Amino acid sequence: MALAKVRTLALLGLVGHLVDVEVDISDGLPGYTLLGLPDAALSESRERVRSALLNSGLPWPNKKVTISLSPAWLPKSGSHYDLPIAIGLLAAQGVVENTVPETLVLMGELGLDGAIRFVRGVLPTLIASLAFGAKSAIVPVENYREAQAVPGLQVSAFTSLTEVVHFLQTGNSPIQEVSQEPEETHDFLDLIDVVGQTQARYALEVAAIGGHHLLLIGPPGTGKTMLAERISTILPVLTPAESLEVSAIHSVAGSLATRGLLTRTPPFVAPHHTTTTTAMVGGGSHAVKPGAVSLAHAGILFIDEAPECASGVLDSLRQPLESGCVTISRAVGTVTYPASFLLVLAANPCPCGKFNGRARGCTCSSREIRNYLKKLSGPLLDRIDIRAFVEAPTRLEMASEMHGESSALVKSRVVSARAVAADRFSGERWSINSKIPSSELRGRFKAERSAMAFLHKELDSERLSARGFHKVLRVAWSIADGCGDIRPTRSSVEQAFLMREGSFL
C-alpha cells in the first residue's frame, strides 16, 4: 500500500478552505474512487488525469486507487484539482518525492496531452492560502501574473505536467521571477464630450464626491448614457487594497483578463436590461459565481433603460444597496461577496421617450406614463439619493464651440472634496459621506439648526421618509465639501432635498 498527500484549496466566494488531496494505491482490482463531495467537473477528473499521465510518458497505476478530498463535508467544485490529484498519484508511486511539502499548494486543470490550463479564482485562493501557512504555490503559466500579485508567496508556473514533475524532482523552475506592476487602463472617455447638461453634470459631481446613487431621466439621445459612462473618469483611483479586492472578485468570475490585473480605475459594469436576477446578484447551481453587483464593487453599476428590466431584477438591488454585500445560499453552501457600488439608473420619461418640453411628440396616455414609471418601485427609488432630468441640448449649445469642463478638472475637485471628508472621518470605520451612520447624522454630523428644522418640517409633512431624511443629510455633506463649507447650511440642505426630488436648478 502506498500513500501520498498534497495540498490545494477550495474557494467558497472569496473565502478559501484548505483541502488535503490524499491518494491511496493498494493491491486489488483496478479501480478509481473519488471521495469528498466532488461536483460533475471534478468527477470527470479521472479521465483527464489518466490521459495526461499516459500522454506525458508517466505511469498510471493499474491498481485500486482511492482519492480522498478532505475535509469530506466541504463541497468541492472546479477542475483545478486535476494537478494536485496527478501529483498525488505520482508521489504515491514514487515518481516524485513522497513527502510533498505541506507549505506547497497546487492548482491547475490538465489537458489530455498533459498541458496545464488556466483556472479561475487563483488570486483569492492564494491570498487565502497564506492564512494556512503556505509559502509556495504551483499554478498554470496563464495565471502567473495573477499569482505574483500575492505578497509573501513564492510562485512557480508551468505549461505542462512534465515540467512540474521535473521541478519537484530537481527544484529547477523554467519560469523566472518578474516584477509585478499595476496595470492601468487607457480611458478615452471625457466629460468634455458632453454638450450642455449643466444640471446633470453637477449631479454627477456631487454623486462622485459622496458615492451617492443617481437616477437620470430624459428622452432618448440627450446624453444619459454618455454621462453615466464618464462617472468613472471623475472618481478617485482605487487604493491598493481596493484594487486587490476587485481583482480577486474578477478572478473568480473569470473576467480578470478583460478587467486587467491590479487596475486602479474603478470598475464600470453595465448589464443589459434583459439580464436576470441571478446574473445581477450572482448565483449558480454548482459554483456560486459573483453577479454584476459584485463585479461593480468599488465602482459603478449602470443600468440603462431601467424600467424595461424584468420584474424583480431592480428590486434585488435593494439589499446590496443597504448592506454593501450580497449573500447567496445554494445547496453547495452560503457565499458572501462584497457589493458596495455607486448605482446609476437611466430611464426615459415615458414609453415612447418624447414626454419632455411641451410633449408635443409624445403619444403615450397618462395611464401608460404612470404604469411605465411605476416599474421603478417606491422602495428602490427611496434608496436613490439624486434624481436629475437630462434635457435635450438647445440649438445654441449644439452650435457653440465652447466646451464644458473636462473630466480631469472635475476629478480634481472630487478628489479635494473627498480628502476633506476623509480628514473629517479620520479614525472612523467609514471615509465617504454616503456611509455616515444614521445615528451620527443626528449627532456629531448634523447640519445647522435651521437646516435641521427644515428637514424636520419635511419629515412631519410626510414628504420625506426616515431613510430619505438621512440621505438628504449625506448629500448635503457632499455639497458642503464641494463648496468648502465646514458644515451643511440650510442652503446646501435645501439643494440636497431638491436634488432628491429631481427639481433642483
DSSP lists the bridge partners of residue 67 as 23, 34
Is 410 inside a domain boundary?
no
**Domain shared by 36 and 100, yes or no:** yes
Dist. CA 348–CA 350, nearest whole Å: 5
CA atoms within 13 A on the CB side of 422: 9
Dist. CA 281–CA 304, nearest whole Å: 17
Chain position carrying cell 515518481? 95
CA angle at residue 468 from 464 to 469, to 5 degrees? 80
Separation of CA 282 from chain center: 11
**Domain shared by 55 and 85, yes or no:** yes
pLDDT tens string, the chain, 505 residues long: the values are 589 999 999 998 888 999 999 999 998 889 999 999 898 888 899 999 999 999 999 999 999 999 999 999 998 988 999 999 999 999 999 998 766 888 999 999 999 999 999 999 999 999 999 999 999 999 999 999 999 999 889 999 999 999 999 999 887 766 544 445 555 555 678 998 888 888 899 999 999 999 999 999 988 888 899 999 999 999 999 999 999 999 999 999 989 888 888 899 999 999 999 999 999 999 877 778 899 999 999 999 999 999 999 989 999 999 999 999 999 988 777 899 999 999 999 999 888 887 776 556 788 888 888 888 888 988 999 999 999 999 888 777 777 766 788 999 999 999 999 999 999 999 999 999 999 999 999 889 999 999 999 999 999 998 888 999 999 999 999 999 999 999 999 999 999 999 998 765 4
Q: What is the pLDDT of residue 2?
A: 85
3-state SS, residue 355: coil
**Domain shared by 283 and 388, yes or no:** yes
Helix pair 490-501, 449-460: axis angle to 10 deg: 30
**Domain shared by 162 and 27, yes or no:** yes
**Domain shared by 97 and 199, yes or no:** no
Is 412 inside a domain boundary?
no
pTM for the complete prediction? Answer: 0.89
**Domain shared by 199 and 144, yes or no:** no
Q: What is the pLDDT of residue 154?
A: 93
Q: What domain range is 206 assigned to?
A: 191-401
Is 502 inside a domain boundary?
no
Other C-beta atoms closer than 10 Å to the C-beta of 184 total 12
For the chain, how many structural domains are there in total? 2
CA atoms within 13 A on the CB side of 165: 22
Is 482 inside a domain boundary?
no
Is 456 inside a domain boundary?
no
| CATH code at position 113 | 3.30.230.10
**Domain shared by 311 and 212, yes or no:** yes
Whole-number CA gyration radius for the chain: 28
Dist. CA 196–CA 285, nearest whole Å: 48
Q: What is the pLDDT of residue 179?
A: 46
Q: Are 121 and 252 in contact (CB under 8 A)?
A: yes
Q: What is the pLDDT of residue 184?
A: 54
Is 409 inside a domain boundary?
no
Q: What is the pLDDT of residue 369?
A: 85
Q: What is the pLDDT of residue 372?
A: 86
Identify the domain boundary among 356, 371, 401. Answer: 401
| CB proximity list for 179: less than 8 A, separation 6 or greater | none
Q: What is the pLDDT of residue 474?
A: 96
| CATH code at position 268 | 3.40.50.300
**Domain shared by 160 and 208, yes or no:** no
Is 178 inside a domain boundary?
no
Dist. CA 365–CA 201, nearest whole Å: 31
Three-class SS string for 434-500? HHCCHHHHCCCCCCCHHHHHHHHHHHHCCCCCHHHHHHHHHHHHHHHHHHCCCCCCHHHHHHHHHHH
Residue in 119, 100, 96, 94 with CA at minimum distance from that of residue 109: 119
DSSP lists the bridge partners of residue 7 as 20, 105
Is 503 inside a domain boundary?
no
**Domain shared by 195 and 138, yes or no:** no
**Domain shared by 19 and 139, yes or no:** yes
**Domain shared by 214 and 122, yes or no:** no
Q: Render 288-301 in DSSP notation, one character per residue.
A: -EE-HHHHTTTSEE
**Domain shared by 202 and 158, yes or no:** no
